[in-house]
Amino acid sequence: MNSTRKQFPISTVDFGCSGRFVQEWSCLGNRNAWLVLAVWVVFCWAIAARAADAPAATNPGGKVNTAVVPVPGGGDTWKTRHEAINTRAKQGHVDLIYVGDSIVRSWMWDGTPVWDHYYAKRNGMIAGMTGDRTEQVLWRLQNGNINGISPKLAIVMIGQNNGSFNTGEEIGAGVTAIVQLLRQKLPETKVLVLAIFPRGEKPTPERAVLAKANEIASKLADGKHVFYMDVNYLFLRPDGSIPAALMPDFEHPNEEGHRVWAAAIEPKVAELIGDAPTAEMLAKPKPKEEAAPAP
């Protein structure tokens, strides 16, 4: 049985091939095929190039590296805080932004007096979220936290909360992904990556994980757009323990901890922003010890 072929209209314009209908159809089809193939090759090349620059989402063993997969946090409190950061970004006038977890957010708590001294005049913005890991920060940066702003400097400290979930290499890849995203979305902004603070009164295996992540993050510095500083020595005694006088919970700095932190990075912050260093904030006088009772 002969099949009925559907006829398609076709231009009879001669594209440089024969004027015969069959050859015109073949020529036009070949041209379309080559055009589609060319577009496909360019598309695949672009995807491959982008993938080559981005941290791998899977490890050699096939395990997914959750530290580089953007996901939002959970709960109404997280959503409310996320929207608050977005609202601040929409207000504009941001010359400096701090990005991170609750350690960064603590600038809004015990660190407020220090923030007012060093960063308020620089139109500082706090993009810190309690409990966040690198993957939540990636999601936030993709969903409004830095839309419409172009700060002179972004200071990044993130990864401590990944310590119980990821390897040092995975956390390092997460920090890398965040820096790459900042460079992509804020090309005029310099990025200062701070080493992840240690936590726990005494050395733990998790500290070694975070140290590995810091080692990887330190290699992001190029001296032009991305810079790195490690001020963890401020919070460590010679035996590796953390003094409660600076971190009462052995994780979040108190006001004095914020003061020594800000003073240590101030020369670099001023250099990258392009203004004069702020005079060091004086420490508060320590309360006098109660007088010993009379004998």
Question: Do residue 253 and residue 117 come from a single domain?
Answer: yes
Same domain, 95 and 222: yes
Q: Residue 60 domain-assigned?
A: no
Residue 133 located in a structural domain: yes
Q: In the chain, which ranges are E strands?
A: 96-100, 124-128, 153-157, 190-194, 226-229
Task: Tell the residue number behind the tokens 């159809």, with chain if given.
Answer: 25
Strands (E), 129-278: 153-157, 190-194, 226-229
* 105 and 47 part of one domain: no
Res. 102: pLDDT tops 90: yes
Considering only residues 115 and 45, tell me which one the structure prediction assigns the higher pLDDT: 115
> For residue 286, what pLDDT band results from cuts at 50, 70 and 90?
confident
- pLDDT (average), residues 178-189: 98
Domain presence at residue 13: no
CATH number at residue 180: 3.40.50.1110
**CA distances (Å), origin 72, targets 67, 132, 134:** 12, 9, 11
Residues 111, 224, single domain; the answer is yes
Q: Give how many domains the chain has, as a whole number.
A: 2
Q: Tell me whether residue 30 is in a domain.
A: yes
How far apart are alpha carbons 48 and 121 in whole angstroms? 43
Do 42 and 185 have their domain in common?
Answer: no
Confidence class for position 133, pLDDT limits 50, 70, 90: very high
Q: Is the pLDDT of residue 291 over 50?
A: no
Same domain, 236 and 143: yes
Q: Are residues 152 and 32 in the same domain?
A: no
pLDDT band at 63; cut points 50, 70, 90: confident
Q: Does 9 map to a domain?
A: no
CA distances to 7, 133, 145, 165, 207 from 226, rounded to whole Å, are 61, 21, 20, 27, 24
Does 28 lie in the same domain as 134?
A: no
Q: Which of 29-33, 121-125, 283-287 has the lowest mean pLDDT?
A: 29-33
Task: Give the tens place of pLDDT for each residue, 223-272.
Answer: 999 999 999 999 999 999 999 999 999 999 999 999 999 999 999 999 99
Does any domain span residue 58?
Answer: no
Longest dimension (CA), the chain: 122
Tell me, yes or no, whether 48 and 73 share the same domain.
Answer: no
Looking at the structure, do residues 118 and 240 belong to the same domain, yes or no?
A: yes
Question: Do residues 185 and 228 both lie within one domain?
Answer: yes
* Domain endpoint, select from 53, 80, 101: 53
Residue 291 resides in a domain: no
Per-residue pLDDT tens digits for 80-98: 999 999 999 999 999 999 9
Domain extent at residue 253: 66-273
Residue 48 has pLDDT above 80, yes or no: no
In this structure, the answer to whether residues 28 and 101 fall within a common structural domain is no
Q: Is residue 32 part of a domain?
A: yes
